[in-house]
Amino acid sequence: MGVVFSSFTMSLDGFVAYPDDSVGALFDWFTSGDVEVRPAGYPITFRMSEASAAYWHQNETEGVFIAGRRIFDHANGWGGRPPNDSPTFVVTHRPPPENWPPVPDAPFTFVGSVEEALEGARAIAGDRDIGVAGPNIAQQCIDLGALDEIRVDLVPILMRDGVRYLDHLRHDRTTLELLQVVQGEQVTHLRYGVTYG
């Protein structure tokens, strides 16, 4: 079985979005180089540094995706094609949007809890990893002791306010082990293993 991981681009002061969910310069590193990267499920091509592109490809191990409703709504359901074209569980307490899905065979399942999403994801992931999106969903996975890795794309900006990546955690004995550091252009990629005491 693969790992359950969460990956976010984060400012130096710990934010992944402004209060209005805009991201400002957070993702400038996607266009800071000469190497073309076209992730599955994305309608655009990024131009990253060589180091960032190699790190990106190394981490293309996701077989199932879990997202919170906030990020799902903000991304407009990715137009029916989730990141990496992975089967996706959306954690929500509301029904799917009207006229959903926008395309036939959109691989989305709407569930009422993180536990239900993890159970469904593990049932179909096989040896592939499970990616977790949305700060709240990542925090709930940590509180459940279910998150195996935290991946941070650390950007040298200060946002001062907004949505924090790791906030409101209840699990009191969480230890991180640095597994990898990759210096890109305008970003430092950090990968941590998570252990629970």
The CATH number of 4-27+61-175 is 3.40.430.10
Q: Tell the burial category of 28 from Cβ atoms under 10 Å away from its Cβ (0-12, 13-18, 19+).
A: middle
- Which residues are paired to 176 by β-bridges? 194
Q: Which of 118, 43, 125 is nearest to 79 (CA)?
A: 43
Residue 109: count other Cβ atoms within 10 Å of its Cβ: 16
pLDDT in tens, the chain (197 residues): 799 999 999 999 999 999 999 999 999 999 999 999 988 777 789 999 999 999 999 888 889 999 999 999 988 898 888 877 889 999 999 999 988 888 888 899 999 999 999 999 999 999 999 999 999 999 999 999 999 999 999 999 999 999 999 988 887 789 999 999 999 999 999 999 999 98
User: How would you classify the pairing of strands 188-196 and 149-155?
Assistant: antiparallel
Q: Which of 116, 138, 115, 135 is nearest to 194 (CA)?
A: 138
Compute the 3-state secondary structure of the chain and give helix, strand, coil in percent, each to the nearest 5.
25, 35, 45
pTM of model > 0.85:
yes
